[in-house]
Structure 1
């Protein structure tokens, strides 16, 4: 069995940031990525996805995001190229097609079991596998009875396949609004949610929102430990999405109250046929490989404080939503949390 310093599970932005931070602490991480590329979930996001933060605020440590215009908002494929280039520059052992099946404790160390039968003994573990692999599908009225197509935003790539359809998008966050507005150019679309959509202006007094978040310190304020549940997500908007919803493309309604076959029953009692219900209802931490460690609560959420496992010494998390701050699971903020986790693990390993 191979023996290593630190196993980093996940080769996306969080895993790459963790590897960079661990190297700076003098440790030799092995990054285990389930897919065939070192760009995490970005290649599987919908094609039109654009970052909410400008290029100047969208970098991992040690490598600025390349752009002739630092105030431009990069597209999905640019992020994929950036992460691929970042990984190529890291002096770390990056192993693709290495899906982790389970992590078990072996005395003061851990054993990592891979799905292909391989095993690694490691002194520490960083769980950086993100959330995309665990789409959240909330309980909705009679959804299981719907005879049309039910998809999650994780399955959405582009609008062409929905041309001419009647589509109900469930959700009120950034992805829900972006996808619904895009679909509304080729289909009849309703954005359905329990609460109204809340917009945040993308530019304030001529500056991007992220300038003000950084200037005021709100972006890095350690508020995560005080939040039992993440706050309601604001839809960052330059005016286009609010205008689209106001114009009814998509129209916005209260969540349906029932489903009968392929018909959606609205709160006013009216019913209409629908072809597709698309759930833009978020994600949850994708950490099934930690089940054997008792490191998760009953809902599968990690038991931690600021990214350090509260039950397993030598286990750290990077890239969780509100792990420490507003920016914890973003390109602009994950590096700070990764550095903190790496320092803690280095101190732990020096003691053991």
Structure 2
């Protein structure tokens, strides 16, 4: 075998799991498709900041430096992850995009896009979702002749100055991007239902303080609270105020798109310059398609991150894998430790 465990993905989930693997005495090899182990953070839009303060945003073993009450910027997170990776006693291979994983003998063979191959006893898929942006089936969208882009490709408002823009979505990113664009463009936030807000601070404390002391942030039972599926927008008052002032305004989702126009629910037809789809992501696991580990929609067949089809295949960093914080900096370490303990027990048999 070339490796006891191959970690696919060198972002927050892969790094946290590599740390946990070393604590169990295992020797993982981390495969990261990008040029440095920072996951998708360097590619997010320019103004993105964490929703949780630095004190709640650390991976195991290394606190996030600086003022613990601040909300770190995208670039700070990317630098934190890169430094975290440098301190790990593990092999990390960059520019190593995985093309395929196959079962072979008592383990797996991992094939890279460049043709390289690694034999591994166990595999952990920690490739996140950024590489698989979700585009809903909106009537006529394929015929829209102006700009259509997903939030994954949005960086800054400058290119949209003076334009008529529609942002589709009701989550944190949708509201933040729409509010930012509204400073330079005429923007509508188009949603299927009204936007739900959650106060960023309660009784002088950040919401994550209350989630932590109540256990809702980590408890598996918190998955029962996942209704409706769209989480509320965390807000210190700025975004609710922006919507209330009409910059951006909020409308029910349009009913049709054609050429450079959209048709609203009231029948109004309007010329539009750009549509930004802030409609989320799905697990990015195409390399497992031939393994029989995914359902028909490409979602992993698992229970709490343990594959239901292959005992030595695991997942870390899935949304709601075990709790509200499973796919976040503040919560992935707990799932990583659980996965490492389980795989260690299986490998030592």
TM-score by length of 1: 0.97
Find the residue that maps to 1:223 and give its secondary structure: helix
Once residues 120 and 263 of structure 2 are traced to their aligned partners in structure 1, the CA distance between those partners, rounded to angstroms, is 54
Partner of 2:305: 307
Residue aligned with 1:21, SS: helix
> Quick one: distance in 1 between partners of 2:91 and 2:75?
24
Q: In structure 2, how many angstroms separate the alpha carbons of the residues matched to 1:22 and 1:182?
A: 41
Tell me the residue number matched to 1:278: 276
How far has the Cα of 1:213 moved from its partner? 0.2
Q: Deviations over 1:175-218 (max 9, x none)?
A: 00000000000000000011110000000000000000001000
Alignment of 1:1-352 (within 5 A): 3-67=2-66, 69-223=67-221, 231-351=229-349
Structure 2 gaps of 5+ residues are none
Residue-by-residue CA offset, 1:249-302 (whole Å, 9 max, x unaligned) = 000000001123111111111111100001000000000001111110001000
State the Cα deviation string for residues 12-36 of structure 1 (Å, max 9, x = none): 0000001000000000000000010
CA RMSD of aligned residues (A): 1.3
Checking the alignment, whether the CA contact within 8 Å between 1:225 and 1:306 is kept in structure 2 is no
Deviation by residue 1:41-60 (Cα, 9 ceiling, x = unmatched): 00000000010100000000
Instruction: Give deviations 1:38-85, integer Å, cap 9, x for gaps.
Output: 100000000000101000000000000011x21111110110110011
Query: Closer, same or farther in 2 for the Cα pair 1:228/1:245, shift >3 Å?
Result: closer
Aligned residues between the structures: 349
Give the gaps of 5 or more residues in structure 1: none
Counterpart contact for 1:225–1:305, Cα < 8 Å: no
Q: Secondary structure at the match of 2:52?
A: coil
- Structure 2: how far apart are the matches of 1:230 and 1:290? 29
- Report deviation, 1:223: 3.3
What SS is found at the alignment partner of 2:348?
helix
- Runs of 4+ with >6 A deviation: 227-230
Paired with 2:59 and 2:100, the residues of 1 have a C-alpha distance of 28
Distance 1:223 1:49 in 2: 30
Structure 2 contact 252–265 (Cα < 8 Å) conserved: yes
Separation in 2, partners of 1:166, 1:240: 22
Asked whether the 8 Å contact 1:105–1:293 carries over to 2, the reply is: yes
**Distance in structure 2 (CA, Å) of the matches to 1:229 and 1:27:** 38
